[in-house]
């Protein structure tokens, strides 16, 4: 009983300290001292500080993804755009980039502006070592919808431009993305291209801004961008270690 009591006191103090930092409405301080109050506070506020996606995945347990053979059969029976895209994406995920590119190209022959097919084709061509070809597909997509998949197409286009030797174009593109969406993810991509182009001071500036903005963000946004913020910090530390 003594141990249980001490644990309860420790938990109450922990929640009270968190409340002082978080500054909720005043009545929450009273709730914390009520029976089960610390637990109520924890579930209302503190639990959001933890990434429980793994637990939700365990509870939900989505059905297994269909195999490529199953997707081929579905496409044979119903040759729809959706089934063709599912097969192409599955081939990409299986690293069969050549066949995936063929399927994406087939889609674009009848629907030349299909965004998912343009993106998929560009990604496949990058993996196949064809950055110039990838840039063509991705530039078309970015002209249609620059913010596609949270600027994923822009990031891939910058990668293609960099590999094709167009570093200035890649950096200009990512500077624009960082202005429109200054998430750590986008700033890290910009910093990497700046480092590759020996623009170290600008890269350090971008990374420091990313880390500072992340620290000022809400807890929800911090959880979302936690991995990218850690990458930004590691990259900044790596630059410093080089002298």
- Tens digit of pLDDT for each residue in 111-158? 999 999 999 999 999 999 999 999 999 999 999 999 999 999 999 999
- 176 in a structural domain: no
**pLDDT of 195-236, one tens digit each?**
999 999 999 999 999 999 999 988 889 999 999 999 999 999
Q: What pLDDT shows up at residue 30?
A: 87
Specify the DSSP element, H or E, that contains 71.
helix 68-77
**pLDDT of 174-203, one tens digit each?**
999 999 999 999 999 999 999 999 999 999
Q: What is the mean pLDDT of residues 75-81?
A: 96
Q: What pLDDT shows up at residue 57?
A: 62
Same domain, residue pair 98 and 127 = yes
Tokens 């009545």 — which residue? 27
- Signed CA dihedral, 132, 133, 137, 140: sign only: positive
Closest listed residue to residue 169, CA positions, set 144, 200, 145, 138: 138
Q: What pLDDT shows up at residue 27?
A: 86
Q: What is the mean pLDDT of residues 26-35?
A: 88
* pLDDT level of residue 168 (50, 70, 90 thresholds): very high
CATH code: domain of residue 136: 1.25.40.10
Q: What pLDDT shows up at residue 58?
A: 55
Q: What is the mean pLDDT of residues 72-97?
A: 97
User: Is 50 a residue whose pLDDT tops 90?
Assistant: no
User: Is 62 a residue whose pLDDT tops 80?
Assistant: no
Number of structural domains in the chain = 3
CB atoms under 10 Å from CB of 13, counted, come to: 12
- Structural domain for 119, as ranges: 82-164
Q: What pLDDT shows up at residue 243?
A: 63
Domain final position from 104, 132, 164 = 164
For residues 193 and 218, the answer to whether their CB atoms sit within 8 Å is: no
Same domain, residue pair 189 and 123 = no
- 171 in a structural domain: no
Q: What is the mean pLDDT of residues 33-48?
A: 86
Q: In the structure encoding, which two tokens stand for residue 46, read together?
A: 């503190």
Q: In the structure encoding, which two tokens stand for residue 88, read together?
A: 């192409």
For 163-183, the DSSP string reads HTT-HHHHHHHHHHHHHH---
Same domain, residue pair 158 and 88 = yes
Q: How far apart are CA 232 and CA 240, in angstroms?
A: 12
- 236 in a structural domain: yes
Q: What is the mean pLDDT of residues 80-91?
A: 97
* pLDDT level of residue 59 (50, 70, 90 thresholds): low
**For residues 23 and 207, which has the higher predicted lDDT (pLDDT)?**
207
- 74 in a structural domain: no
- 202 in a structural domain: yes
- 100 in a structural domain: yes
SS3 assignment, position 118 = helix
Residues whose CB falls within 8 Å of the CB of residue 218, separated by 6 or more in sequence, listed in order: none
Same domain, residue pair 86 and 131 = yes
Burial class (CB in 10 A: 0-12, 13-18, 19+), 76: exposed
Q: What pLDDT shows up at residue 25?
A: 85
- The predicted model scores a pTM of 0.74
- 133 in a structural domain: yes
For residues 160 and 138, the answer to whether their CB atoms sit within 8 Å is: yes
Closest listed residue to residue 125, CA positions, set 105, 140, 146, 155: 105
Same domain, residue pair 156 and 191 = no
Q: What pLDDT shows up at residue 55?
A: 55
Mean pLDDT over each residue of the chain, to the nearest integer: 92
Q: How far apart are CA 128 and CA 141, in angstroms?
A: 19
Integer CA distances (angstroms), 34 to 157, 172, 188, in order: 56, 57, 46
Same domain, residue pair 188 and 121 = no
Q: What is the mean pLDDT of residues 20-48?
A: 86
Same domain, residue pair 204 and 231 = yes
């Amino acid at each position: 009983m003594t141990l249980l009591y001490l644990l309860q006191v420790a938990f109450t103090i922990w929640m009270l300290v968190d409340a002082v930092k978080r500054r909720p409405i005043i009545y929450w301080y009273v709730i914390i001292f009520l029976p089960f109050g610390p637990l109520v506070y924890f579930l209302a506020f503190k639990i959001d500080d933890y990434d429980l996606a793994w637990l939700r995945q365990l509870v939900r347990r989505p059905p297994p993804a269909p195999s490529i053979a199953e997707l081929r059969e579905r496409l044979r029976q119903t040759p729809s755009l959706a089934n063709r895209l599912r097969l192409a994406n599955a081939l990409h995920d299986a690293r069969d980039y050549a066949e995936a590119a063929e399927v994406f190209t087939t889609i674009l022959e009848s629907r030349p502006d299909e965004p998912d097919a343009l993106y998929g084709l560009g990604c496949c061509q990058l993996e196949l070592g064809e950055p110039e070809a990838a840039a063509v597909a991705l530039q078309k997509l970015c002209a249609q919808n620059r913010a596609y998949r949270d600027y994923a197409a822009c990031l891939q286009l910058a990668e293609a431009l960099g590999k094709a030797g167009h570093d200035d174009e890649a950096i200009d593109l990512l500077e624009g993305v960082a202005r429109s969406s200054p998430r750590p993810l986008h700033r890290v991509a910009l910093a990497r291209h700046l480092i590759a182009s020996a623009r170290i001071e600008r890269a350090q500036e971008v990374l420091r801004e990313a880390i500072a903005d992340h620290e000022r963000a809400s807890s929800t946004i911090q959880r979302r961008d936690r991995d990218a913020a850690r990458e930004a910090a590691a990259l900044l530390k790596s630059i410093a270690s080089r002298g």
